[in-house]
């Protein structure tokens, strides 16, 4: 019996009858809510407690600061760990053959009188627990003490649990990284659009400033031209006045000379 326990520790049952027996073990543990004297030794070996195997409502994983997504993630993580621990416990119980005498191999189904949720008598518990320490029917190639076998079973089951949890953590890591990548991509896209809008606004401001500067230059040029025209017109008027005055002087001088000449002739 010890040899069978050791050989089946790292792998689940493969035959139809073995799978059915494993299913019955699952059913039995669920009926007793994972609390039963027959389960205690194996639970202690694996370092598990019945509370770790019992389901919890999703409401227990929420708090005032967490979102529904975080709540679902915590619940899924707990449920995955719980199912893995139940699977390890079932395989360990199956490998030890503690429940082999409780199920009828001919019918492959226990009746209510064989699988009872009530605690068995002390004598039945003693017989069941003695299976763990029973001497092997076939002498192994290398002597293995019961303590070493139990330690190896616990170690193998713990390694299986660790592998499962690593896979879960890796999947969570990949999912979180993918979400971060999506968020980073969205942020980069938003920053790119914002940069385009800022560049567009800057170019528009530069265009308006250039138009304003050109208008100011045009106004200055027109103003200087107007002043120049005014100055030229003023100079022309002044020159015209000088010419007129000179002409008047010449006219007066001519008249005076004619008058003098007329008087002399008389």
**Cα gap 61→52, rounded to integer Å:** 14
Kindly provide the b/e burial profile for residues 177-188, where b requires at least 16 CB atoms within 10 angstroms of the residue's own CB: eeeeeeeeeeee
Tokens 């699988």: give the residue: 115
Confidence (pLDDT) at 44: 87
Structure tokens at 140: 């192994």
Find how far residue 43's CA is from the centre of its chain: 36
Confidence (pLDDT) at 205: 92
Percent of residues in the chain assigned helix, strand, coil, to nearest 5: 75, 0, 25
pLDDT along the chain (266 residues), means of 10: 35 66 86 85 86 87 78 84 87 79 45 39 42 38 49 70 77 75 78 88 92 91 89 86 79 72 69
Confidence (pLDDT) at 148: 60
Angle in degrees, 0-180, between the axes of helices 68-96 and 16-31, rounded to the nearest 10:
120
* pTM attached to this predicted model: 0.37
Confidence (pLDDT) at 60: 84
**Cα gap 203→216, rounded to integer Å:** 20
Going from N- to C-terminal start, the domains of the chain cover 2-144
């Amino acid at each position: 019996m010890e040899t069978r326990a050791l050989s089946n520790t790292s792998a689940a049952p493969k035959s139809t009858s073995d799978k059915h027996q494993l299913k019955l073990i699952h059913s039995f543990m669920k009926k007793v809510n994972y609390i039963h004297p027959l389960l205690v030794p194996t639970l202690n070996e694996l370092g598990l407690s019945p509370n770790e195997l019992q389901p919890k409502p999703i409401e227990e994983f929420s708090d005032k600061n967490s979102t529904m997504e975080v709540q679902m993630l915590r619940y899924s993580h707990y449920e995955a760990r719980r199912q893995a621990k139940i699977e390890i416990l079932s395989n360990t119980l199956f490998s030890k053959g503690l429940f082999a005498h409780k199920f009828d191999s001919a019918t492959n189904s226990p009746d209510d009188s064989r699988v009872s949720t009530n605690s068995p008598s002390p004598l039945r518990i003693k017989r069941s627990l003695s299976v763990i320490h029973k001497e092997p029917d076939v002498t192994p190639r290398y002597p293995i003490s019961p303590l070493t076998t139990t330690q190896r079973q616990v170690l193998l089951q713990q390694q299986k649990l660790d592998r499962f949890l690593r896979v879960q953590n890796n999947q969570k890591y990949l999912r979180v990284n993918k979400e971060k990548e999506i968020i980073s991509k969205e942020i980069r896209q938003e920053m790119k659009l914002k940069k385009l809008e800022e560049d567009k606004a800057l170019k528009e401001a530069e265009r308006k400033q250039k138009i304003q500067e050109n208008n100011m230059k045009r106004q200055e040029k027109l103003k200087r031209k107007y002043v120049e025209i005014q100055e030229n017109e003023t100079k022309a008027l002044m020159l015209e006045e000088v010419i007129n005055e000179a002409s008047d002087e010449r006219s007066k001088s001519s008249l005076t000379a004619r008058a003098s000449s007329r008087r002399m002739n008389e």
